[in-house]
Structure 1
Amino acid sequence: MGSTIFTPFSQKELIPKEEKLEIYRRERKLCIGIPKEISIDENRLCLTPDAVQVLVNAGHRVIMERGAGEGSFFTDLQYSEAGAEILENRKDVFAQSLIIKINPPTLEEIEWLQPNAYLISALQINLCSKEYFKKLSDKKINAIAFEYIMDEYKQFSLVRLIGEIAGTISILYASEILAQTNGQMLGGITGVRPTEVVVLGAGIIGEYATKAAIGLGASVKVFDNSIFKLRRLHTIVDNRVPTSIIDPKELKKSLRRADVVIGALPRINQLPIITEDMVSTMKKSSVIIDLTVDSGKCVETSELTTLSNPTVIKNGIVHCGIPNLTSKMSRTTTKAISNFFLSYLLEIDQEGGFENQLVKCQEMKQSLYMYKGRLTKCTIADKFGMQYHDINLLIF
């Protein structure tokens, strides 16, 4: 006789059932607003017509202000043929759920943003006011800064991209200024002493400035307090470029001989490295280009300038402090930024939207400086005396 097996389950309950897997909720397609940049001499844009076409074909809407691409030599017709909707009213462009622009919005533009909208732009913390962050907070905005966007390899890929262009342009522009101010050519010619360039900072901007200067035949010396970055620069650049940690005596000695100084070391909430006393010892008509003037200048005598009025003279030294120097090569920069944002937006779409991506991706969380009106970056909170919220306690 067969034995009976006792079970608390009924025969129906023992029948195998379908496995249920967790899936992410697919959000609606992106509705992207691209306003025209109104900052002085700002010619860059975040998307090219080719990128717009890819996004529209993927089912997204792209709403652009009329004339937004003119500074980068792209016409409204090109964008329209790519599938973008061209609008006259700026308010309607800012009324979209996602706004992508180069410079931070003005206080008036923030008023036009929809509550809980996503904003992607540069932050330029040195140029922002406390009122800017309060306005964003009142609107419950989710704000992402170019400076904080990180990829899966923990690299600030957009900052690096713009830094590559900025480093190269800084040397080319310094060459132009040097020729205009004292008729000197940046480089080296047989029998003539080569131009001496001091680069402050061995990061991405410093790396590409060094490469460009060496390519023109200049004599280059690089300063940075990071031994790792200096060693990395030695590895990347074929020539054995003289390097040094930032020792004031050694730096002052090099500045006396320098024809060009490139400042590429941000000093957020810190004192500048090159003091006015150091600047006063430099050769007359030498050129200083401070690329960090909008994020904590590294040269004490630097001040903001524009592409239309690019230089000021202090202590006989020509100073250039254009925060958007890459806008001088607007079409190239726009193409580079557009390539980044095309892959960035398509990845967000593939993952089901911003909210899903924020839950899944730690790097995405760190790119936010404001989430639903709450400030999530400690450096900003400390600078402006505002309340800080840990992003990991807001999204989990």
Structure 2
Amino acid sequence: MGDGFFTPFGKHELIPQEEALEIMHKKGSLKIGIPKETHFQEKRVCLTPDAVSVLVANGHQIIVESGAGDGANFLDNEYSEAGAQISYNTQEVFSQHIILKVAPPSLEEIEYMKSKSYLISALQLSVQHKEYFNLLMSKKITALSFDDITDESNNHPVVKILSEIAGTSSILIASELMSTTNQGTGLIMGGIAGVRPTEIVILGAGTVGQYATKAALGLGASVKVFDSSVSKLRNLQNHIGQRVFTSIIQPKELGKAIMRCDVLIGAIRGTGRTPTIVTEDMVKNMKTGAVIVDVSIDLGGCIETSEITTHNHPTFEKHGVIHYGVTNISSRVSRTATKALSNFFLQNLIEIADYGGIETFIKREKGFRNGIYIYKGILTKKIISDWFGLPFNDINLLIF
């Protein structure tokens, strides 16, 4: 440069450069198969007819297996009128490029899938077998667990949706079980003037606990919430918007509360198996006819006497206490759960198309990428690798 003018840049750096413009993605057309759920007592479906109508209007092809929406009271003709193709051939539905379902597919259903296709479903790791993963990998399928998808705040939106439903439902279920028509004690959930309100103990201040607390307070019940995290208890207080009894989990304080309560809701979550918080001796000290709803039973349960039950036979009695241990509570209100899931999937499917396809979306969206456990036949989750002794690779090393 000339004398008397200093710059830290070299001459070549000051020459005007060409502007790099962002290349717009060409919108892709998606071919989505929605099979009928065959998992025991699974009544939900991933997309409502309204969501299908939006996707079809955007140029996407949706093939719905006949009867897929029956469990949530969505009929075939509703899907047909929304623009979906109704298929009576299960293999045809599973031959689509993207398979969208609630429960993970069976081995027979995986056989129907085309090589290098995409699967979006729950994983349910605790009940899976090694051959499930081996079969997916042999067909070079990219499989994604919607439970593990995260948002910009690193929360799990699908888990949160289902937890909200489970929390509210747990109180309504307990209310039913206390009625004399269900051989309960005949108490109303809440209270009326001059009568002591129902006493409820909730273990866990996460999303399930928050919504259970909100529902119980709304009905007029007296609520006590226990958790091992002070910050979670504080968040619950802020979420509820009113003062409610909260306490760190201490055996003596918890034991007294459980002994006096009419309803005990188990909503503790762990990273693996749910820790046992309530011992059998504590249950023995509960009132005769008291009700336990262990929402965390799908991960082992936080109450020692809990056992897994079904929607057909949801309860059993032990030590004079009624126990409810259904693992899939949201399927009990399948239409509401379907609408909530559909809202989530519709938004993501539209974004996938806007990016030009699911492959580009995976590369650009870290939260969506977090849900992938098999990428083009390669296992990408260490927890699955440790569980079943399978080799794995980091997803981030495979896509770039």
- Answer whether TM exceeds 0.5 for this pair: yes
Distance 1:279 1:101, change over 3 A: same
Instruction: Summarize the Cα distance change of 1:236–1:369 in structure 2 as closer, same or farther, 3 Å threshold.
Output: same
Residues 1:364 and 2:368 aligned together: yes
Q: 3-state DSSP class of the match of 1:191? A: coil
Structure 1 runs not aligned, ≥5 long: 1-15
Matched, 1:380 2:379: no
Q: Is the counterpart of residue 202 in structure 1 residue 200 in structure 2?
A: no
Q: Distance in 1 between matches of 2:164 and 2:64?
A: 28
Structure 2, unaligned stretches of length 5 or more?
1-15
1:212 aligns with 2:215: yes
C-alpha distance in 2, partners of 1:270/1:75?
38
Does residue 46 of the first structure (1) align with residue 46 of the second (2)?
Answer: yes
Task: Give the superposition deviation at 1:125.
Answer: 2.4
TM-score under structure 1 normalisation?
0.90
For residues 156 and 361 of structure 1, the distance between their equivalents in structure 2, rounded to whole angstroms, comes to 14
Task: State the Cα deviation string for residues 1-43 of structure 1 (Å, max 9, x = none).
Answer: xxxxxxxxxxxxxxx9986656376474211111111223222
Shift in CA distance, 297/378, structure 1 to aligned 2, threshold 3 Å: farther
Residues 390 and 90 (structure 1 numbering): CA distance in 2 closer, same or farther, change over 3 Å?
same
Q: Aligned pair 1:280/2:284, yes or no?
A: yes
For 1:89 and 1:65, the matched residues in 2 are separated by: 7
CA distance in 2, matches of 1:298, 1:375: 31
Q: What are the superposed Cα offsets for residues 272-298 of structure 1, whole Å, 9 maximum, x if unpaired? A: 222333322222222111222223422
Residue pair 2:33, 2:99 contacting (<8 A) in 1 also: yes
Distance 2:318 2:129 in 1: 27
1:57 alignment partner AA? A
Residue of structure 1 in register with 2:315 after alignment: 311
Distance 1:338 1:308, change over 3 A: same
Within 2, Cα distance between the matches of 1:212 and 1:199? 12
- What's 1:111 paired with? 111
Instruction: Show the counterpart of 1:32.
Output: 32
User: Is the 8 Å Cα contact of residues 205 and 226 (structure 2) preserved in structure 1?
Assistant: yes
Q: Contact 2:198 / 2:221 at 8 angstroms: preserved in 1?
A: yes
Distance in 2 of aligned mates of 1:317 and 1:389: 48
Residue 215 of structure 1 aligns with an amino acid whose one-letter code is G
- The percentage of counterpart residues that share the same residue type is 54
1:58 aligned partner: 58
Alignment of 1:342-353 (within 5 A): 342-353=346-357
Output the CA distance in 2 between the equivalents of 1:373 and 1:318. 46
Whole-Å Cα distance in 2 between the matches of residues 385 and 288 of structure 1?
A: 37
Query: Which deviates more, 228-237 or 262-271?
Result: 262-271
User: SS at 2:322's partner residue?
Assistant: strand
Q: Is the 8 A contact 2:28 2:355 kept in 1?
A: no
CA-atom RMSD, angstroms?
2.1
1:324 aligns with 2:328: yes
Query: Residue in 1 aligned with 2:261?
Result: 258
Alignment: residue pair count: 381
**How far apart, CA to CA, are the structure 1 residues paired with 2:289 and 2:92?**
49
Is the 2:268–2:274 contact (alpha carbons within 8 Å) kept by the matching residues of 1? no
Q: Which structure 2 residues correspond to residues 74-89 of structure 1 after superposition, within 5 A?
A: 74-89=74-89
